[in-house]
Structure 1
C-alpha cells in the first residue's frame, strides 16, 4: 500500500487489518515476555477512531478550516459521519454503535481525583456495575459518546481494568475505561465509558465496516482501488473472548 488517497478512511482500514492479522499472534504473559494484547488493541484503535472525527467531522462542521480536510474527498462519507455523530440523537441509534458500554459521571466538587495514581474510584466502578450504566451509555448523544472516546484516546485518558472492571496492579487486563472531562474549559465533571476488551474489538470492527459501507460507492466511482466491504462480522468465540487479556 502506498500513500493514502483518503487518509481518514484508508488508514483506519489498514489499522484494522493489522488488528485482524496480528492480534491472535500476541501471547499472554509468559516468563519475562511482556503481555501486549491490550496495548496493541488500544494502540491500533487510535487512528481507527480519531482520524474520521478529526479529519472529516471537524472540517464538515467547520468548513473554514482547511489544512487537513478529508471531508471534501468524499461528500457521501462526510455527510454520513456528520449525520451519524449527531448532536442530539442517542448513540445506540447510530450505525457504528455496538456494545455493551457502561457510562458513569463524577462531579468535580472540590477537585478531581488523580486517576493515574489511584485508578478507577470504587464508587464509580460500582456505578458502572449497575444495569443503569448500560442504558446511560446507550442513551448518550452520539456526539457526546464520540467526544468521550476521542478525547480519552487522544489525551491518554484510558485505564486498564481487570475482569471485574477494577484497577488492580499486575492483574490481566480484561476491560478499558475511557475518561474525558465534559468541557475543555473549566470542566465540572468526568465522563467514564467502560467496556470489555472483546466488546471493544467488536466495536472497532463495526466502526470500520460503517465507514466502508458509507463511502464505498463514491470510492469505487472515483477509482481509488478499495474493494467493496464484505460481511466481516468477526465473531469471537466464547473461549477466545475469555482469553482476551493483557
Structure 2
C-alpha cells in the first residue's frame, strides 16, 4: 500500500474498507460494541486532530478545506450533520451532564437531580455536531467509556446494550473547585457503529472535488 497524499482523508477510506471486511465477524461473535470502539479510536481521533490548524502537521495550503468542514460542524445540529449516511435514530442518542461521582453509575445525577440517562435530561436534539464529537473524541482518547446494560446500569455479566462516553465538564472555575462534573453521551452499539462508518465515509470524501478535477 502506497504512502498517502493526504493522510487525514485517505486513512479513513482505508479504515472504512477494513470495517467492511471485519464487521460481519464482529457481529457473529457478539463483539459489535468493542468493534465500534476499535474503529472509532482511530477513525474519529486521528482525522479530527489532523483537521485542526493547531496540529503540527497541518498545511494551510493543502488542508484549508478540512478546516472549513470542521468549522461547519460548529453550526450543524448533531442529528442533522452532513456526515450522516442516512438520518440517525435520534432516540438512540443522549447527551447530558453528571455532576456527582461517575464511578457509581446507579447514583448518576445531573445538575437538576435527574437521571442523566432519562429523556427529561437529554439535550441531544439541541447539540451541535462539534459538541458531541468533542465528548466522543475526549472519551476515546482518555478511556472514559462505560458499558451499560439494557437498564442503563453497569452490572458485570449483563448483556451490554449501551455505551457511555464521558468528558470532563469544566464550564467555570467555581465548578472545577466544587466537583468533577462530566458531559456524557450515551448511545447503542448499533447506532455508534453507524456513526463511525458515516464519519469515515464523510471524511474520506472531502477531497472529492480535487480528485474529480485531477482525473479530468
TM-score w.r.t. the length of structure 2 is 0.78
Q: Is the 8 A contact 2:12 2:204 kept in 1?
A: no
Of the three residues 155, 180, 183, the one matched with 1:191 is: 183
Of structures 1 and 2, the one with the larger relative CO (CA 8 A, separation 6+) is 2
Match of 1:160 among 140, 147, 151: 147
Q: Deviations over 1:180-233 (max 9, x none)?
A: 01249964521110000111111122212322343211134356xxxxxxxxxx
2:201 alignment partner, one of 209, 219, 223? 209
**Alpha-carbon deviation of 1:3?**
2.4
8 Å CA contact retained: 2:166, 2:183: yes
- Quick check: 1:162–1:174 contact (8 Å CA) kept in 2? yes
Once the two structures are superposed, residues 144-170 of structure 1 have per-residue CA deviations (whole angstroms, 9 ceiling, x without a partner) of 212111100111111111223221111
Alignment equivalent of 2:95, drawn from 87, 93, 103: 103
Q: Equivalent residue for 1:77?
A: 66
1:148 equivalent to 2:148? Answer: no
List gaps (5 residues or longer) in structure 2: none
Q: Could you list the runs of 5+ residues in structure 1 that have no partner in the other structure? A: 29-34, 224-246
For normalisation by structure 1, the TM-score amounts to 0.70
Work out the CA distance in 2 between the residues paired with 1:48 and 1:132. 29
Matched, 1:169 2:156: yes
Indicate which of 101, 108, 111 corresponds to 1:113.
101
Q: Distance in 2 between matches of 1:150 and 1:5?
A: 25
Deviation of the 1:71 alpha carbon: 5.6
With over 3 angstroms needed to count, the CA separation of the structure-2 counterparts of 1:6 and 1:114, relative to structure 1, is same
| Residues 179 and 120 of structure 1, relative CA distance in 2, 3 Å threshold | farther
Say whether residues 1:15 and 2:9 are aligned partners: no
Aligned match of 1:234 = none
Q: How far is 1:171 from its partner?
A: 1.7
The offset of 1:94, in angstroms, is: 2.1
* 8 Å contact from structure 1 (residues 178, 193) kept in 2: yes
Contact 2:13 2:200 in 1 (8 A): yes
Offset of residue 14 of structure 1? 1.8
Q: Partner residue of 2:38?
A: 43
Cα drift, residue 178 of structure 1: 0.5
1:91 aligns with 2:78: yes
**Counterpart-to-counterpart distance in 2, 1:105 and 1:95:** 26
Aligned partners of 2:153, 2:5: CA distance in 1, in Å?
42
Q: Contact conserved, 2:98 with 2:116, CA < 8 A, in 1?
A: no
Structure 1 residues 148 and 94: CA distance shift in structure 2, 3 A: same
Change (3 A) 1:161 1:147: same
Does the Cα contact within 8 Å between 1:119 and 1:159 map onto a contact in 2?
no
Cα deviation, residue 114, structure 1: 4.9
CA distance in 2, matches of 1:152, 1:83: 22
- Aligned residue for 1:232? none
